[in-house]
């Protein structure tokens, strides 16, 4: 399993955009608090988001709070969704490239 890491600038910018598109409010310092690791999604770019490492094991999906559509460099549609857990914490950045291939590049925001 991949170790948690800080998100890249592109990943953070996409998460930030999705938070701003949602009606949810998160701590102003969420950027300093989160770590991420890649989802097992064939390289589409999805991330598991961790806020509290001690309580990471028993987390459950809560709901999708926003999504963003973009086109990858190869012309294929991509949908990025931001999900929270059942306690309202950031849970995952789910990325679905509609041809199930590896994401080439995060969108320029």
Kindly tell me if the per-residue pLDDT of 52 is higher than 80: no
Q: In what order do the strands lie in the sheet with 47-50?
A: 35-38, 47-50, 90-97, 77-85, 61-71
83, pLDDT greater than 90: yes
Looking at residue 4, the DSSP 8-state letter turns out to be: P
What pLDDT shows up at residue 109?
A: 85
Q: Which two tokens stand for residue 76?
A: 């294929």
d(C-alpha 27, C-alpha 61), whole Å: 20
What is the tens place of the pLDDT at every residue in 9-31?
999 999 999 999 999 988 778 89
Q: pTM for this structure?
A: 0.90
**CA 14 → CA 52, 59, 60, distances in Å?**
21, 22, 22
Residue 55 has pLDDT above 70, yes or no: no
């Amino acid at each position: 399993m991949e170790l948690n890491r800080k998100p890249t600038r592109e990943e953070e910018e996409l998460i930030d955009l999705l938070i701003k598109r949602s009606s949810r409010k998160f701590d102003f310092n969420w950027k300093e608090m989160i770590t991420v690791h890649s989802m097992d999604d064939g390289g589409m770019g999805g991330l598991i988001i961790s806020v509290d490492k001690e309580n990471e094991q028993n987390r459950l999906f809560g709901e999708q709070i926003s999504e963003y559509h973009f086109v990858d460099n190869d012309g294929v549609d991509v949908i990025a969704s931001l999900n929270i857990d059942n306690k309202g914490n950031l849970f995952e950045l789910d990325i679905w490239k509609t041809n199930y291939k590896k994401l080439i590049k995060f969108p320029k925001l």
